[in-house]
Amino acid sequence: MYAFTHHSATSIADAVKSVGEGKYLAGGHTLVPTMKQRLAMPGNIVDLNKVAELKGVSDNGGVLTVKAMTRHYEVENSPVVQKAIPGLAKLAGGIGDPQVRHRGTMGGSVANNDPAADYPAAVLALNATIVTDRRRIAADDYFKGLFTTALEDSELITAIEFPHADSFSYAKFRNPASLYAMVGVAIAKKGGAVRVAVTGAGSDGVFRWKEAEDKLAANFTAAALDGLAVSPSRVNGDLHGSAEYRAHLIGVMAKRAMGA
């Protein structure tokens, strides 16, 4: 790893003021490996681990707010999350291994937007709002492609707000080596509206599967998805699975998310 300067931020304002051309450090479970490989070489690291105002979970009866530095383990085990959106706690419990969940944070995962990460599917399906130090960004406007988001340089995610849904579930086919999603499908229903988000597969990262949304809005059962398929042309192929294989897996995982 190249040398860098380190500043332990004391507040949101201090973090944003100090970051300059550098990078924020949350759980470090993406950033540290990338820096070791010299794929990222920030000259300055602003550490968020001591910023108390970035930690914690709350719920107002209609919206669940998860602050950026909340670790996957805390989301998994939070009674507040388990009551508000149980499927989200379950999703967090399926990220990586226990040690990754003890360090990794929701803000770090959503900022990083790895095309195989789990949280982006939940954020998109639940129509969440990404709250930053300067504005609020709707999930539909936030994800911009592989490892790319609407965040500006130095923009800090402070929290993610999840509106409650009538139902939310996530089914993941994990890569047994990396533990990331080969394909993950999140399905949220609220009133008559259904949102289906697919991670792990899209050649542009997480995406909404509109055809499945329409079918499920008309008939919210696994059977409604019979015969529906995503075109392999919008799906990634790599050594772990071809585009055709992943495209097929999307249909299978969507049905599993529907309880089939």
Q: Which residues bind ligand FAD (CB under 6 A)?
A: 23-31, 68, 95-96, 100, 104-105, 107-109, 111-112, 114, 117-119, 156-157, 179-180
Helix intervals (H) in the chain: 12-19, 31-36, 72-77, 79-84, 86-93, 98-103, 106-112, 119-125, 139-142, 210-218, 243-257
Rounded Cα distance, 51 and 15, in Å? 9
Q: Which does 83 bind (CB under 5 to 8 A by kind): other proteins, ligand FAD, none?
A: none
Give, as ranges, the residues between 20 and 39 that touch other proteins (CB under 8 A). Answer: 25, 28-29, 32-33, 35-36
In the complex with ligand FAD, the residue whose CB is nearer, 95 or 197, is 95
Rounded Cα distance, 66 and 56, in Å? 6
Q: Which does 156 bind (CB under 5 to 8 A by kind): other proteins, ligand FAD, none?
A: ligand FAD
What Å distances lie between residue 197 and 39, 83, 146, 156, CA to CA? 28, 22, 15, 24
Rounded Cα distance, 96 and 47, in Å? 22
The yes or no reply on residue 11 touching other proteins (CB under 8 A) is no
Pairing of the two strands 57-59 and 44-47? unpaired
Binding other proteins (rule: CB under 8 A), the pick from 97, 152, 153, 238 is: 97
Binding-site size for other proteins (CB under 8 A) equals: 28
The yes or no reply on residue 3 touching other proteins (CB under 8 A) is yes
* Spatial contact of 222 and 258, defined as CB atoms under 8 Å apart: yes
Contacting positions for other proteins (CB under 8 A)? 1-6, 8, 25, 28-29, 32-33, 35-36, 45, 47, 49-50, 73, 96-100, 102-103, 177, 179
